[in-house]
Structure formats: C-alpha cells, structure tokens
Structure 1
Amino acid sequence: MEISTRPFRKDDLSRCLLIEEHTAPKNRYFADVADYFTTTRGELTVALADGEPAGFGKLTVLFDGSAWLELLRVDPQFQRRGMGMAIYRRYLEQIKDMGCPRAAMYTGVKNVASAALAEKNGLHRGREFKGMTLEVEKAPRNKADGLALVADKDRAAFLLEPCRQAFGDTMCCNHTFYQMNEGTYGGFVSQGWLYEGEGCVLALGARFQPKRALYIAGLHGDLEKGLSYAVGQARSRGVPRITVHFPREDKAMEEFYLSQGFVQDPSDDVVMEGDF
C-alpha cells in the first residue's frame, strides 16, 4: 500500500464525512467547519492509501503563532497502518516551515492510542481538564448585565495575567486550548471574546459553530455575575448551551458549575504539547 498526503480538495468532502462517521459518530462536525478551515493558516491534510482518502487532519496556527493539531480522523480499516503517522509528518513539516514555536492537541485522558501517536511525534502529556455543559433553557433568568467588552489588548493582559494559575495557563474555546500569553490575549480581544465588570473577568465566545454553543474560556472573580452574563448572551443569540473547561483538580470550580446546573462531559481531556 502506498501512503501519501496532500491538501484537502472540495471533492474529498463526501469521503471525509464518511470517515468521520465511522470514527467519531458522536463528535461529527467536519461538515460545519470544512469551509472555515480553508480560511485559517495551516493545512487541512488528507492522507491517501493508494491514491484514495483514508484519513485527514488539520493544523491551525493560533493567535500566538503556535500550532494546534485537530480533527485527526483515520478510516478504521486503515488505523495502525501508518495513516496517522503520515499526517503527523505533514504536521511537523508545517511546524518547521512556518516557525511555530510550540504545538499542542487534546485527547481524552483514556485515549491511549491518540496520546501514544502524539508522544511518538514529540509531544508530551500536559494538564488535564474537566468539561461541563449547561442547557440554557434550564438556567435561571438572573440579572444579566454589568459587563462590558474589552477592546484593548493591554487591558486584556492586565485582566488575564492574574488569572493564569486559576485557569491552568490555558483558555479553551471549541475544545481548542489556547496558552495564555500576549498573543492569545490580543486574539481574544480581536474576536470579541473578553468581557469585564466590577470584580469579574469573563472570556466567552465560539471559534466555530456559534449557533450550537458558547464557550466560557475563562471566568474569574464574581462567578455568578459572569455566568449570568454568559447565559444572557446565549439567550440573546439563540444559542442552546454553554460549555466550559477548567483544570481537573479545581474542585471549587467543579462544585460551582454543578451548583448552577452544568452536567459533566463523558470524558476528561488531556492536552498533549511540546516545544519546537
């Protein structure tokens, strides 16, 4: 079998959707992001078996210039036959060519195969995160004002730097784990994802699929005030759910979100990361 890689083409879509259906039936979203991924820096790569698509994956350059490795899918009949390694080889070529200082991805804490593949390609296990989701229709209708959009990246750094330890040095939006630094702060401001109020900092947004969920990428200070604002934003935008990730060991945040009606996701996540 000859294995090769090339950039995604529009006529690959139907085959890639079928691969996703077979590999991630409960986490299918490629149809919604295929066009979006062609607009971001970094290649959407297809792995070929004798010229036919057998897997795909995306490298995305984040706000701070680091590489985020996502959406890796390999047809079950071609798993453990070199397709994943071929996509990672293309990842590593891009990391070198674009000068990305760091690369990262996430997987479930129990997904041994995914973590092993990442480790073979220079990544190591980092922080673990717990995910939770709130159905907005079940949330109380509390006062939902008192926060304002942050429009200045220096102000963003002033607000967020003191939160780094509480956030595990990471902010998560659409299961994309952003390392906290000036590049990320500026990116969040540019996307309209950062809010402040008296005694409260809230990072809230959606990288893609904005009608499906809003993501609390960070919440600090007056937690109830920030969450009420997030719920109000979701209601005003017609978004049905809010999702959050926070360090697995942060029991206080876990208790807070549980008390507000959030339900724990089926699996915790681990960030695999490495410097290049």
Structure 2
Amino acid sequence: MSEPDLVAMAALLEASGQYRVLRKLGERPVLPVPEGEKVRVGLFVDVETTGLDTRRDEIIELAMIPFRYGLDGRVYEVMDPFHGYRQPARPIPAEITALTGIDDAMVEGQDIDPEAVAAFAAPAALVIAHNASFDRRLLERFSPVFQTKPWACSMSQIDWKSEGHEGVKLAYLAAGAGFFYDRHRATSDCAAAIELLARDLPKSGQPALARLLEQARTSSWRIWAENSPFAMKDKLKARGYRWSGDDAVPSRCWYVDVAEADKDAELLFLRQEIYGGDIDPLIRKIDAYDRFSDRC
C-alpha cells in the first residue's frame, strides 16, 4: 500500500472520532532561521545504565543529540547524534536487559571515549535530559565537561499535567502528542524528547522548549529545616519538604526548593510554625549550573 493511501486511511480514521492514530516519529525538517535571530546549540542526552544508583552503577549506552534553537524556544535544526556502547565492569543485570534490550554481547569490547564526549558536548549552551537528576550525576562522573554546563530537565521543569498530559514519562508524552518511537534506546529517547520540546504545548500554545528555558533561567532557593522538632515532620512533609539521606550535606534533615518570590514566605513559615521563634535556617541559591547535581 502506498504512502498516500496510508495517510488517507489515517485521516479517515481520525475524522471518524472513533480512533486515535499514532504516527512513527520521523526526521524533523530543518527550518530557516529568521534574519538577525540569535541561535544557540542545545544538547539532549540520555544514558542507559546497569541500575539506578548514580554513585555505583555504570553507563552502558550514551546518546547525545545537538539541536539549534532560538532564544524564544523555537527549534530550527536537529543535528547528527553521538552514540556509543560501553562494557561495564560487571555483567548487565537481567532486569536491565529486559528493560532496554541491551545485553552483554552488545557491549562486549565496547568503550566510550570521555575526550570524544567532551569535544562533542563543548558547543552546547544548555544540556537537557528527561530526568536530569539521574543523567547529570552519572555524566558528571564520566566527564568533567558536564559540570561546566547549565542543565534543564524536560520531565520536571514543564508542567505537563496542566497541559493535558496524563503522565510525565516520555512514552506517555509521545503518545499524547500523537507519535511513537523505539523506547528505551538512548538515541530514540533523545529524538522523541526533542520532538516534544519543538512542539507547542496543547493548552497554552507556548513552545515547550520556551517553557523549559524559562524554568532553566530562573534561580531557586534550597532551605533546610535542620534540627526541626520530630513532631513537625508530617507538617514539613505535607508542605513539600524532602528528607536528605546520610550522603547529603547537611545530612538527615528536611529541605525544600522554592522560587525566589517564595523564599521569604517559606522562612516565615519555618519561624512561626516549625521552630516557634526567630531562627536563621541554612539556605542556598541554586541555578542551572548546579541544579540536579550532587552539589545541591
């Protein structure tokens, strides 16, 4: 059956109101850059690993796709990718192979050159990942170049649910946007995420990348409730505070990240409702150069 016939059939199904059609993700066309428009290079990254421990598990697959974008969030060109496999020190767990399709035979004898990765990432004005708190920590262990870059997270820094999506997983977002792709393969994941960022959000009409850039450019504050009364733990948790583990600095205390505009109100909340007096909590300003890293 010819391509025009398939397109016509898909249109007919959609017009009936009884079907939703998912189209396979293809190459995104290159758009002309308006005269005088300033463009930057973004870099979308994705890793597949031996597990979820960012301190101990290893990268077994890395993909990076650069793309050119305008300061208003319009994506003009998706460029050639970087891709590599890497043999870890230990066999790949069976559950990882089941999830990703990557087995020991695929990575045997393979390596990823950190210097090649650094050179490829060097032009990027912004690094993006879908779950940057995971990818950034692993990639900073792999190459120091990622410590020098501002980062953004396409999963947590766009309010996908308010735009009508039912979840934030990449596959859910893609299905909601009307396309599908080869899941849990690093290059395909990057391409799918860039496609989502290049599209307008369904309710606001704003380019998704524009929304992400707004969030990436905004500083926030981390506020720690050190030595807070044990009886206040439920109140802190209900307000969005999280517990820092033994490896964090400071360790074993509640903390929250708030926007610049909310900092004073949060400090007042701690003084009035948690400590019952005038205290000076530990606070730290966080921007895209540290956000999602082990440094904060």
The TM-score, its normalising length taken from structure 2, stands at 0.29
> Which one has a larger percent strand, Structure 1 or Structure 2?
1
RCO comparison, higher one (Cα < 8 Å, 6+)? 1
The TM-score, its normalising length taken from structure 1, stands at 0.31
